[in-house]
Chains A and B, each alone.
Chain A
Amino acid sequence: MIVSIEEHGAVVTLSLQEERLDAHNSNELKSQLLNLFEEGKNKIIIDLADVRFIDSSGLGALVSGFKNASSRDGSLKLCSLQTQVKSMFELTRLHRVFEIFPNPEEALASF
């Protein structure tokens, strides 16, 4: 999985440079997030601008990261969702779980 990582103070932004987040690569995202948590980083933004397809495994990996961040008194927020990807969050009601922002700047300002 190709991911670019940027740090702004205590906040880490992961930009997924993949078209699909599915059962093939969602475990890699989980591992990347676990590595960050183990380094004590628990304020995370995931930028999904390049992701045009997400399945239940991809949603599950994000939920897993959300729970891990919350249990460490941090948070995991999302930004830049494409229309069809956003509709998957609505269909599974996960838009009520995650804080979702239109762009990384607004997500960063929310911390």
Chain B
Amino acid sequence: MKNQLEMDIKVPNQTRYLGLIGKIGEDIAYTLKNYNNDRDELAYHINLVLTEAMANTIKHANSNDPCKDVHITINVSDENLCIKVYDQGQGFDISTTGTALPEPTDDHGRGIFLINTLMDSVTYKNCGNGNVLEMKKRLN
């Protein structure tokens, strides 16, 4: 395996684990060998997309059921970051949840906008007993 990080994580479907998963994302940014841009910014962005994707899964796809799991895989090479978040529910339509920024005074709807803004490609599709949200970002 050449400079390749592969992580496979399962946590209960509960928001109390958001900080833990976000921290793992931040730490990944600081372990990259050949990243020449702002590392603090990258760390925040990975933390944020993991937090947004997981919170969305907990609330919407997994219907806040604390007995379900959220399954996350993170693959990092020198060139690319790929995060997959698996849910066990009905899913949601990423095209209708909006890639546009909501009205300034809306309370909701910024999560998917942030993921789309900070990542280079985002897909959401059916997969076995649930769905997978795949988010990719070039690192150089």
Q: Interface with B: A3-11, A41-49, A60-68, A100-108, which one?
A: A60-68
Contact check, A60 vs B114: say whether CB atoms are below 8 A apart: no
CA distance A22 to B52 in the complex (A): 9
Within 8 A of A (CB), among B82-130: 101, 104-111, 113-114, 117
Q: How many residues of chain B have a CB within 8 Å of chain A?
A: 27
**Do residues B105 and A97 form an inter-chain contact, with CB atoms below 8 A?**
yes
- Contact at A55–B55, with CB atoms within 8 Å? yes
- Expressed in whole angstroms, the Cα–Cα distance for A51 and B26 within the complex equals 16
Docked pose: A88 CA to B125 CA in angstroms: 28
Q: Which of B16, B44, B114 contacts A84 (CB 8 A)?
A: B44
Give chain B residues whose Cβ lies under 8 Å from the Cβ of A61.
107
Q: Which of A63-102 contact B (CB under 8 A)?
A: 63-64, 66-67, 83-84, 87-88, 91-94, 96-97
Residues of A within 8 A of B (CB): 19-20, 22-24, 53, 55-57, 59-61, 63-64, 66-67, 83-84, 87-88, 91-94, 96-97
